[in-house]
Amino acid sequence: MSKMLSYCGLDCSACPAYLAHRNNDQVLREKTAPEWSKMYGADIKPADINCVGCTVDQGVHIGHCSECELRECATYRTLANCGECPEYACEKLRVFHQSVPAAKANLDDFRKTR
């Protein structure tokens, strides 16, 4: 499967929440929930591990999508992802990419193919 980029550059097609939803994989949900609970300091249940992908409007999304400023901005600007933005890379995106350099690399690759 080719990459399915979120607005910020994460690869949704490699995300456990996307894969668990797509494949109805309860084992993956049960494995991922405690890992993410520890990683994010939140109480994440297996039922929370479901997502259709960041850039898809309709359907189930992981909890953070509803509060993500990057997603809100890209949606408002009707961008495929932040790599299309004339202000790439804004301060919020640069801060995020410090924690997730693979997402930056995905957007940089996307920009090279435009």
Would you say residue 7 lies in a domain?
A: no
CB-side neighbour CA atoms (13 Å) of 44 = 21
CB distance 51 to 21 below 8 Å: yes
Picking from 21, 18, 6, 20, the residue whose alpha carbon sits closest to that of residue 73 is: 6
Kindly state the average pLDDT of the residues 82-91.
Answer: 96
Please say if the pLDDT value at position 65 is more than 90.
Answer: no
CB distance 79 to 7 below 8 Å: yes
Would you say residue 50 lies in a domain?
A: yes
Would you say residue 5 lies in a domain?
A: no
Give the total number of structural domains in the chain: 1
pLDDT grade, residue 114 (50/70/90)?
Answer: confident
12-62 confidence digits (pLDDT tens)? 999 999 999 999 999 999 999 999 999 888 899 999 999 999 999 999 999
Would you say residue 75 lies in a domain?
A: yes
Say how far apart CA 29 and CA 36 lie, in whole Å.
10
Would you say residue 106 lies in a domain?
A: yes
Kindly state the average pLDDT of the residues 84-95.
Answer: 96
**11 vs 40, which has greater pLDDT?**
11
Would you say residue 28 lies in a domain?
A: yes
pLDDT grade, residue 110 (50/70/90)?
Answer: very high
Q: What is the pLDDT of residue 1?
A: 57
Q: Write out the residue range of the structural domain in which residue 62 sits.
A: 12-112
Average pLDDT, whole number, for the chain?
A: 94
